Structure 1
Amino acid sequence: MTEFPEGAPCWMDAMFTDVEGAKSFYGAVLGWTFGEASSEHGNYTQAYVDGKAVAAVVPPMPGQEGTSQWCLYFASPDAAATAGKIRAAGGEVLMEPMQVGTFGTMAIAKEPSGAVFGVWQPGDHKGFEKVAEPGAYCWAEVFSKDPAKADAFLPQVFPYGSHQVDLGEAPEGVDMDFKVFSLGGPENPVLGRMKMGPEFPPEIPSYIQVYFTVPDCDAAVAKTTELGGTLHFGPMDSPFGRFAAVTDQQGAAFALIDITKTVGEMPALT
């Protein structure tokens, strides 16, 4: 499989106190199957769609128990060098680059407005084996309480260009300050950034929202809530697809999107 270019989202995983519950939930909502847990690497368990790796789940390490959340990893040719850029740009390295067997090297960091993300320098494990297909990752957005900090940080760490996006008239009480980061030009967007306005409770920190592709957003939302998850927004039609923001039954936030059901014209970039 072709390796992901520097700065491209390339993998994601999440810690779950109840791993079996997470496997049951995502198996039902996204059609995931699961490999054998790797006891050598903390019972890290990969998820698959049609035999292709799409994500992983893992139990928390002692002392790291808490609300589950998805961690998105960005590709890097040199995790140590990227960690240096993160510090220089005002971010924080939460976990120093660590080699994971022959799979690759990982690091965990936080951008200055508070969103946590991962860095992945591939070895044998290149990353997603399927994207933008049912059950797989397709998009992500940094939801930031201080977008100026996030906007300044990201292009210093990864080779991004950026464009403000005109999303049109916002619903009352919603701030539609949205930016897209791209690699090699605006025709290749890889990451969004949305300002968190007063509609977000103050206790929710900046975070990265990952989007999973589904064949039917409404059906996936119904299954999510049936299994104990929560619907926070949507389903809503957009030029990008019909989408909804949810959390699973252990509190991990994500979005569901049917990219085949688009409504309206694509927004202008500035």
Structure 2
Amino acid sequence: MAAQPEGTPCWADAMFSDVEGAKSFYGDVLGWTFGEASSEYGNYTQAYADGKAVAAVVPPMPGQEGQSAWCLYLASPDAAATAGKIRDNGGTVLMEPMQVGDFGSMLLAQDPSGVTFGVWQAGAHEGFEAKAVPGAYVWGEVFTREPEKADAFFPAVFPYKVQRIEDESMPDLDFKLFNLGDETVLGRMKMTEEFPPEVPPYLNVYFTVEDCDAAVERATKGGGVLRFGPMGSPFGRFAALSDPQGASFSVIDINTTEGEMPKTTDVT
């Protein structure tokens, strides 16, 4: 598996004060198993779906304790050059490019609207070993209250072409698609008043499940909170959740679809 094209979502991880609790929750909800904690790298622990690496959990570094959140990493051939583009386009580099052994290089950043994301320059670790299978990442969406800032920033930093979703049944929908060639790799949704003001902008990750409703039931029994759904769509039946430590994520059954695919219009 070669390194992913620039701008492709390639990895996801999250910091948890209670790592064992997170392992128990996601093991139950998504069927993950876990490798050994890597003490050399802050007890970074990879999660596996059917033996394939799909994410990681890690305890917070000293001084980094706070709200748990999933971080989605976007592929870059040169993390230092991407850091420069982030700054040049009004973003903030939260953590400078850092070499992680022979695995690769990473940085953390925020777009001008406050959405946190990661950048990964692959070395020995090329990213997701599986996608769009039960337990694995399948989709990501930028949730922002200032869509015009996100829409200007991300295609300037990464080689995205942008399309707008057109849905006559939802005239107020403000949703964009970020494409690499013929592949759609990210969505961008404007946060409406349905989002409580205390919820910050974020990059929402979707994990694949065989049965959305069953996954929601497992999540809520395990202390998670259902935020939205389950709901049918042309892309699959999905629901938005928060885990017991407050990290937001979504689950989707991509094989159970309903309705027609929406029309799209090229923006750039």
TM normalised by structure 1 equals 0.97
Once the two structures are TM-superposed, the CA of residue 14 in structure 1 deviates from its matched residue by: 0.1
Find 1:192's aligned residue among 184, 187, 194.
187
Q: Secondary structure of the equivalent of 1:65?
A: coil
Residue in structure 1 matched with residue 174 of structure 2 by the alignment: 177
Secondary structure of the structure 2 residue equivalent to 1:85: helix
Alignment of 1:236-255 (within 5 A): 236-255=231-250
- How high is the sequence identity, in percent, across the aligned residues? 70
Confirm or deny that 1:105 pairs with 2:105.
yes
Following the alignment from structure 1 to structure 2, what is the Cα–Cα distance between the partners of residues 167 and 16? 38
User: What is the distance in 2 between the residues matched to 1:150 and 1:26?
Assistant: 30
For 1:197, what is the secondary structure of its paired residue?
coil
Find the residue that maps to 1:64 and give its secondary structure.
coil
1:130 maps to a residue whose letter is A
The CA deviation at 1:169 is 2.4
Question: In the alignment, is residue 22 of structure 1 matched against residue 9 of structure 2?
Answer: no
> Displacement of 1:183 after TM fit?
0.2
Matches within 5 A, 1:62-211: 62-170=62-170, 175-184=172-181, 187-211=182-206
Distance (Å, rounded) in 1 between the aligned partners of 2:198 and 2:216: 25
Q: 1:105 and 1:145 mapped to 2: Cα distance?
A: 30
**What SS does the corresponding residue of 1:181 show, helix, strand or coil?**
strand
Paired with 2:259 and 2:120, the residues of 1 have a C-alpha distance of 36
Q: Structure 2 CA distance, aligned partners of 1:50 and 1:195?
A: 35
2:60 is aligned with 1:60 = yes
SS of 2:3's partner is: coil
Tell which deviates more after alignment, 161-170 or 224-233: 161-170
Which residue number corresponds to residue 262 of structure 2?
Answer: 267
SS in 1 for 2:65: coil
What TM-score, normalized to structure 2?
Answer: 0.97
Instruction: Kindly report the root-mean-square deviation, in angstroms, between the aligned alpha carbons of the 2 structures.
Output: 0.9
* Structure 2 counterpart of 1:35: 35
Instruction: Provide the aligned length of Structure 1 versus Structure 2.
Output: 265
Aligned to 1:50: 50
Distance 1:88 1:2 in 2: 29
User: What residue number does 2:207 align with?
Assistant: 212
User: Residue type of the partner of 2:179?
Assistant: S
Once the 2 structures are TM-superposed, how far is the Cα of residue 251 of structure 1 from its aligned partner? 0.4
Q: How far 1:200 moved relative to its partner?
A: 1.0
Alpha-carbon separation, structure 2, partners of 1:207 and 1:167: 24
Find the residue that maps to 2:213 and give its secondary structure: helix
**Equivalent position amino acid for 1:182 in 2:** N
Gaps of 5+ in 2: none
State the secondary structure of the residue aligned to 1:254: strand
Letter in 2 for 1:264: G
Between 234-243 and 1-10, the greater mean CA deviation after superposition: 1-10
Pair 1:168–1:65, CA change in 2 (3 A) = farther
Contact 1:167 1:178 in 2 (8 A): no
C-alpha distance in 2 between matches for 1:16 and 1:167: 38
Secondary structure, aligned partner of 1:192: strand
